[in-house]
Structure 1
Amino acid sequence: MTETADDLSAPLGQDKLRRKRRLRLPFTAMQALAMLLGLFLVTFAGFAIFNKDPLGGEPMTRIAIREPKATDEKPAASGHGQDSKQESKHETREAPKQAAPGEQKTVTMIDGSTGARHDVVIGAGEADDKGEAASAPPPVMAGIDPKLLEKSRYGMIPVVADGSKPFNVYAADADRAKAAKMPVVAIVIGGLGVGAAKTTDAIMKLPAAVTLAFTPYGSDPGKIAERARTQRHEIFLQIPMEPYDFPDNDPGPQTLLTSLSADQNMDRLYWHLSRMQGYAGITNFMGARFVATDAAMQPIIREAAKRGLGFFDDGSSPRSIAPQAAASQAMPFGKGDIAIDVVPTPAEIDRALNKLESAARERGTAIGTASALPVSIERIGAWTKTLGDRGILLVPLTTAMLKSKSS
């Protein structure tokens, strides 16, 4: 009874072990994860803002350039026997392969912060030491007067000699007396030299009086241009020039740019001029911005005039200053009136050719431009067969340019 009373009088819970209290953090797991994520984002943003590396994020390549060490040691005597031969073979296998003299690659490097482009020539070899272009210059084409050529660092380029000008010497034959008395039409097919099939079609399927304009690109533009001259076509050289949407719309390597100095553009012009010979003049390849920029265009026109070339403006830019610049140099000049295959369908091409006829009757001379699309070649070829019956004479571009100048 005593024990029972003691049990009843004892405070409740005194005989049980007290529970251990759990350690509780002042934040939840989700809050901790959010804090870590926020810390990472702050660190990343700080690195992006305060890091001044303009090439951050750009792909980079490191190239080890080793110069061969000069050695004065003489070859070991042959008395070393087989071991010496094996060692020599081992060294030959491990020797780095040297680039062939004159072999080079042009790499365009882009500044990640400004977007500026820089062309860097790699592996020019001995040619750089001589101050010459590393790639072999194009050979002189057949039927070219050597007196009308002078050497540049890229190859041979046209020049006036003894009063003879490339424009007059390389102009295609035409009955200019007849052309002076009746309406004439000239057609220029551009963009040739890159696609072999379309270039061959233009050379072989179109009349000789159709003038062909070649880009400076392709594996052997001089050879193709020579073939065109063999078929009695007159040829012009297309010079890539900066369009308004450059570099999204890029004419190609060595494009003349308004952002370059006159000397830099002149150097690029010489590269283009050296790609082939036998052309009577040059013409713009694209270049709406360039031909509309007086400071950039004037030196090119002056240089072309000095070298006895004509200039043809394809008419694609209404703001072109080429007519005024050419007039100031008293050089042969022509401008395209109608682009024949803007809409490359037979019906639209025929409609453009009819407009060209009307322009010739109104002004005495009209010049059309076209590309070497199969449908363009087919429709132009068919149209020229009956052109004379309608009282209009098809003439080379140089004849149309001279008639426009005299009228």
Structure 2
Amino acid sequence: MDTLYRPLGLDLGRRKPRRRGRSAIPALAGTLCFALLVGGSLAVSLTQPRFRDVDVFATHPAPPEPLAVAAANPPPASPPAAGPAVTAAPLQPLGRTSAGADDAAVAAADPDAPTIVYPPGAEGGYGKALSMRDPGSLRQAASEAAEPDAALLEHGAEGLLPIRAADGRRPFDVYSIAPASDLGTRVAIVVGGLGISQTGTMKAVRELDPAVTLAFAPAGNSLERWMREARHAGHELLLQLPMEPVGYPNVSPGEHTLTAGDAAAGRFDDLRWALGRLTNYVGVANYMGARLTGDEPAMRALAAELSRRGLLYLDDGTSARSLAKSAAREAGGVYAGADVVLDTTQDPAEIRKRLDTLERAARAKGQAIGVASAFDMSVAAIAAWMSEAEARGIKVVPVSALADDPEAQ
């Protein structure tokens, strides 16, 4: 009976104590092995050139300011088994690098390093800064659109001429207008002849949608005033360049015509006169010029000069013999070519048919460019067509958005 009243568990034997010493030894040995492995890895990395000599680029908060990278990869005097060393100059924001900073970057590079040439066709040096940037970040702010960028101006006897900035920026980059949308079928419309008629110029600037590109004639009047009003309204600008036509001088675009002979010989006095009449434009468009655009030496020389200055060339599409596209490509310049001339006659019905042709061309290719003159009837027809075309999925964009830019590749 005693077993019935005995508390549960009191008859159990004593538990044997655990033997801790033997189980702690493997854990301690594992810790020592791990420490030796990490220490050995660090020692190896510090003694190998490929790890010891690498400079790690620090990240910079880039947007919206573009960055310039100066880098060189010199071969070692005696190639080690671990691989060649790499040296690099620090990142620097574009627009703030002085000549001294550029010289220091070049001096830090090895003379045997590869040559980076920028812009295309220009002489470069080893370790030369190579720009890496989003073209959209270079555009002027809307509040500054009517003010020329001093870094993009060259002072000459003919006035203020467009030129690439020392940091590589181009008038094409800075004065371009961002399209409202890159989606859908895109059309660019260029209306030229502005500045000749004050009434017609006012009508085009104030009644056309800002997406329409405006082209000014260098022989026009009050160009500075109209440039400012057009830029404040949101328009992208071109300058029309009088160029030698077939039958010149009996057929002439006016004074200061750039002839094929002068262009081929590099005599650009008339070109500089035209360029100096206006500022804040992304490029030039031919005014007449079938004789010059069909002359290979002349067109190659002109394309090279425009590329050097960072300007777009728009071919109005009136000459089937034009060599402008191939010349611009060879020079590394920006090129655009018109698909349809919209107002060969001042007939509203005919202009509307041409605009419909432009729309069909854009749907077939994804984009198309039309050109017109600043006649009242042309301006009214374009404005009416644009109000309807958007509902059909047509996006009118500045001409720069449809240009072929080799530097943006």
Instruction: Tell me the TM-score range normalised by the shorter chain.
Output: 0.5 to 0.7
- 1:361 equivalent in structure 2: 363
Quick check: 1:144 aligned with 2:152? no
- 1:155 equivalent in structure 2: 159
1:319–1:405: structure 2 CA closer, same or farther, 3 Å change rule?
Answer: farther
Matches of 1:261 and 1:277, distance apart in 2: 22
Q: Say whether the 8 Å CA contact 2:146–2:227 is kept in structure 1.
A: no
1:186–1:302: structure 2 CA closer, same or farther, 3 Å change rule?
Answer: same
Q: Say whether the 8 Å CA contact 2:333–2:405 is kept in structure 1.
A: no
1:317 match: secondary structure? coil
1:234–1:201: structure 2 CA closer, same or farther, 3 Å change rule?
Answer: same
* Alignment deviations for residues 122-163 of structure 1 (CA, whole Å, 9 cap, x no partner): xxxxxxxxxxxxxxxxxxx95111111011111110111112
* Alignment deviations for residues 241-276 of structure 1 (CA, whole Å, 9 cap, x no partner): 011122222111110112336456412111111111
2:393 counterpart (391, 396, 406): 391
Identity %: 39
- 1:164 equivalent in structure 2: 169
**How far 1:185 moved relative to its partner?**
0.3
* Alignment deviations for residues 215-249 of structure 1 (CA, whole Å, 9 cap, x no partner): 11123322222221121110001110011122222
Matches of 2:246 and 2:333, distance apart in 1: 27
Unpaired runs of 5+ residues, structure 2, are 1-144
Task: Show the 5 A alignment for 1:153-192.
Answer: 153-161=157-165, 162-175=167-180, 178-179=181-182, 181-192=183-194
**How far 1:293 moved relative to its partner?**
0.8
Unpaired runs of 5+ residues, structure 1, are 1-140
Matches of 1:310 and 1:259, distance apart in 2: 22
Matches of 1:218 and 1:345, distance apart in 2: 25
Matches of 1:393 and 1:273, distance apart in 2: 30
* Alignment deviations for residues 262-302 of structure 1 (CA, whole Å, 9 cap, x no partner): 45641211111111100000110111111111111211111
Q: Say whether the 8 Å CA contact 2:194–2:220 is kept in structure 1.
A: no
Task: Show the 5 A alignment for 1:184-333.
Answer: 184-260=186-262, 262=264, 265-333=267-335
**How far 1:329 moved relative to its partner?**
2.2
Task: Show the 5 A alignment for 1:103-118.
Answer: none
2:188 match: secondary structure? strand
**How far 1:323 moved relative to its partner?**
0.3
Matches of 2:250 and 2:306, distance apart in 1: 28
Matches of 1:405 and 1:319, distance apart in 2: 26
1:172–1:261: structure 2 CA closer, same or farther, 3 Å change rule?
Answer: closer
**How far 1:404 moved relative to its partner?**
11
1:299–1:259: structure 2 CA closer, same or farther, 3 Å change rule?
Answer: closer
- Count of residues in Structure 1 that have an aligned counterpart in Structure 2: 264
* Alignment deviations for residues 79-126 of structure 1 (CA, whole Å, 9 cap, x no partner): xxxxxxxxxxxxxxxxxxxxxxxxxxxxxxxxxxxxxxxxxxxxxxxx
Q: Say whether the 8 Å CA contact 1:183–1:364 is kept in structure 2.
A: yes
- Higher Cα radius of gyration: 1
**How far 1:335 moved relative to its partner?**
0.5
1:405–1:187: structure 2 CA closer, same or farther, 3 Å change rule?
Answer: farther
Matches of 2:265 and 2:272, distance apart in 1: 11
* Alignment deviations for residues 296-352 of structure 1 (CA, whole Å, 9 cap, x no partner): 121111111011111100001110000001111232211110011112211111110
TM-score (norm 1): 0.62
1:189 match: secondary structure? strand
1:303–1:218: structure 2 CA closer, same or farther, 3 Å change rule?
Answer: same
2:270 match: secondary structure? helix
1:350 match: secondary structure? helix
Matches of 1:358 and 1:235, distance apart in 2: 26
Q: Say whether the 8 Å CA contact 1:159–1:166 is kept in structure 2.
A: yes
**How far 1:406 moved relative to its partner?**
8.0
Matches of 1:348 and 1:404, distance apart in 2: 36
Q: Say whether the 8 Å CA contact 1:365–1:404 is kept in structure 2.
A: no
Matches of 1:381 and 1:405, distance apart in 2: 33
Matches of 2:357 and 2:337, distance apart in 1: 16
1:386 match: secondary structure? helix
Matches of 2:322 and 2:349, distance apart in 1: 30
- 1:47 equivalent in structure 2: none
Q: Say whether the 8 Å CA contact 1:189–1:370 is kept in structure 2.
A: yes
